[in-house]
Structure 1
Amino acid sequence: MTRSADRNHDITRVAVSTVIFTVRRTGDAISLSLPLVRRTRDPHEGQWALPGGWLDISESLDAAASRTLAETTGLQPSYLEQLYAFGAVDRSPSRVVSIVYWALLRQDDVDAQVAAHAAAGDAPENVAWFDATDLPGLAFDHNDIVDYALWRLRNKVGYSRIAHGLLADEFTLAELREVYEAILRRRLDPANFRRQAEGSGTLIPTERFRTGSHRPARLYRYNRDVELADHGPLGVRA
């Protein structure tokens, strides 16, 4: 075997990681958040990192993303899409290519899944939630990965119904606008947002209203004939 062939024999391992976003409310403020896992071994022992793990030779990438996310955080997202492959030579002490996914999960689903694991006594350890735009220094190149995922999310929110992955099935326009503001990190004019949202063709008004301390607000739902995102010619794969 030549030196080149020998070097290529074991150069690469494949890992799968997931950036999973949710919108969390604290009082009147909402923020785009994600879970991180504290590493318990070298390299980068003690640092926070994205949830993930090694690809099993017998499973698909999508299946590996779902499995490793469940194993490390106990979460099952409502939306999961392949983001990018990260494979810089110096990103890890050994050559590792990470297939990164990004996912969306509604806060109610997060709370329910976390509570179910706590009740069963199998809640994942070393997991904490962070503001996606105010992260500590992460292991490997995971800060760059989160930045890329945020860029992708902010681009998609402008032309798809991707925000639905962060909302309940029915929502007010004010709640939808808050999700957009959390993603885009800027305030949006309520009147302009209402006009654009109602003219988008993706929202269906219901006959129900949200009542409370303010004037009743009409509830909307997304048109399910419109996909969360354009998956291209391959479509959605199991």
Structure 2
Amino acid sequence: MSISPSLNPHVSVDCVIFGFSNETLRLLLIKRTVPNALTELDDSYYALPGDLVRDNENLDEAAARVLKELTGLTGIFLQQFQAFGDPLRIAKAKDRAWLQGVRQDPDARVITVAYMALIESSKVEIQPGSFSKGAVWLPIGEIPELAFDHNEISEGALMALREKVQIQPIAFELLREKFTMSDLQALYETILQRELDKRNFRRKMLNSGVIAALPEKQHGVSNKPARYYVFNRNLFENSPLGSVNLKMEGSFTLFN
């Protein structure tokens, strides 16, 4: 397969797509399409969704295209977090064999720009593309060896996520539209990998103004029904510099 003239052979984007279900943070990985000639390659070799950048698109547009082609979604949280350009990032034998089957110049150095995406996973309908034969959500703690330097990229995205959720209300992108306080705390504890004091968490969330209580409560539960909340998106989007707690002078530091 030769490279289309519309693709830049030296610049790519890779998307680290996070989802959250059953109190588990998950990563959406693709199973790469293996050319028929490469029978020695394991077709369960997973990778991050990505592609070379087209000559007529910028980096953000390329990442959004990759995301839409795989999930069918647009307008979701998608943010660039780091570039990766180690000269040896394509040195693994499996990767070189795969590149020889799909690239005109398999030795060309490729700099990739990584993006982090946050998705409410129940909305995703996987649409495998030309370089993938399928996709799967895997728990963060069960990620196998990935193609190229995608393990390093995934770890970088997780570090960025842990930093950002403490200063920006982006974790809500992983939840359903309405959620309980327990759902929200479980999400933060899963991302941060530590327990949070229940009273302190509740107080800070309510005082921040980032969530709004609904009159609706849980139904059909054996214990006391919990109240539902929604993310107060308008407050966040209309606040200076994206802050959500004006009483805290433009900061959203939930956890010290």
Query: Do both share a fold (TM > 0.5)?
Result: yes
Q: Do 1:24 and 1:31's aligned partners in 2 also have CA atoms closer than 8 Å? A: yes
Q: What SS does the aligned partner of 2:83 have?
A: strand
Are positions 1:226 and 2:236 aligned together? Answer: yes
Give the root-mean-square deviation of aligned CA atoms.
2.9
Residue of structure 1 in register with 2:110 after alignment: 96
Are positions 1:202 and 2:199 aligned together? Answer: no
For the structure 1 residues 179 and 192, does the alpha-carbon distance in structure 2 shift closer, same or farther, using more than 3 Å as the test?
A: same
Amino acid of the structure 1 residue aligned with 2:18: F
Q: Do 1:21 and 1:105's aligned partners in 2 also have CA atoms closer than 8 Å? A: yes
Residue of structure 1 in register with 2:93 after alignment: none
| Aligned residues with identical type, % of pairs | 37
- Residue correspondence of structure 1 range 51-130 to structure 2 within 5 A: 51-71=49-69, 73-76=70-73, 78-92=76-90, 93-110=107-124, 113-114=125-126, 125-130=133-138
Residue of structure 2 in register with 1:16 after alignment: 13
For the structure 1 residues 214 and 228, does the alpha-carbon distance in structure 2 shift closer, same or farther, using more than 3 Å as the test?
A: farther
Residue of structure 2 in register with 1:5 after alignment: none
Q: Do 1:107 and 1:166's aligned partners in 2 also have CA atoms closer than 8 Å? A: yes
Displacement, 1:203?
A: 1.6
Q: Do 2:31 and 2:134's aligned partners in 1 also have CA atoms closer than 8 Å? A: yes
Amino acid of the structure 2 residue aligned with 1:74: T
Amino acid of the structure 2 residue aligned with 1:90: L
Q: Do 2:63 and 2:115's aligned partners in 1 also have CA atoms closer than 8 Å? A: yes
Q: How many aligned positions are there?
A: 209
Amino acid of the structure 1 residue aligned with 2:197: D
For the structure 1 residues 193 and 215, does the alpha-carbon distance in structure 2 shift closer, same or farther, using more than 3 Å as the test?
A: same
Residue of structure 2 in register with 1:188 after alignment: 196
Which ranges of structure 1 fall in alignment gaps of 5 or more residues? 1-10, 119-123, 233-238
Q: Do 1:170 and 1:220's aligned partners in 2 also have CA atoms closer than 8 Å? A: yes
Question: Whole-Å Cα distance in 2 between the matches of residues 217 and 151 of structure 1?
Answer: 31
Residue of structure 2 in register with 1:121 after alignment: none
Amino acid of the structure 1 residue aligned with 2:193: R
- Residue correspondence of structure 1 range 40-55 to structure 2 within 5 A: 40-41=33-34, 46=43, 47-55=45-53
Q: Do 1:38 and 1:49's aligned partners in 2 also have CA atoms closer than 8 Å? A: yes
Which ranges of structure 2 fall in alignment gaps of 5 or more residues? 1-7, 91-106, 244-256
Amino acid of the structure 1 residue aligned with 2:118: L
For the structure 1 residues 231 and 191, does the alpha-carbon distance in structure 2 shift closer, same or farther, using more than 3 Å as the test?
A: closer
Question: Whole-Å Cα distance in 1 between the matches of residues 18 and 121 of structure 2?
Answer: 10
- Alignment partner of 2:30 out of 31, 37, 40: 37
Q: Do 1:18 and 1:101's aligned partners in 2 also have CA atoms closer than 8 Å? A: yes
TM-score normalized with structure 1 length: 0.78
Q: Do 1:207 and 1:219's aligned partners in 2 also have CA atoms closer than 8 Å? A: yes
For the structure 1 residues 145 and 75, does the alpha-carbon distance in structure 2 shift closer, same or farther, using more than 3 Å as the test?
A: farther
Question: Whole-Å Cα distance in 1 between the matches of residues 169 and 156 of structure 2?
Answer: 19
Q: Do 1:162 and 1:228's aligned partners in 2 also have CA atoms closer than 8 Å? A: no
Residue of structure 2 in register with 1:8 after alignment: none
Which 10-residue stretch deviates more, 77-86 or 167-176? Answer: 77-86
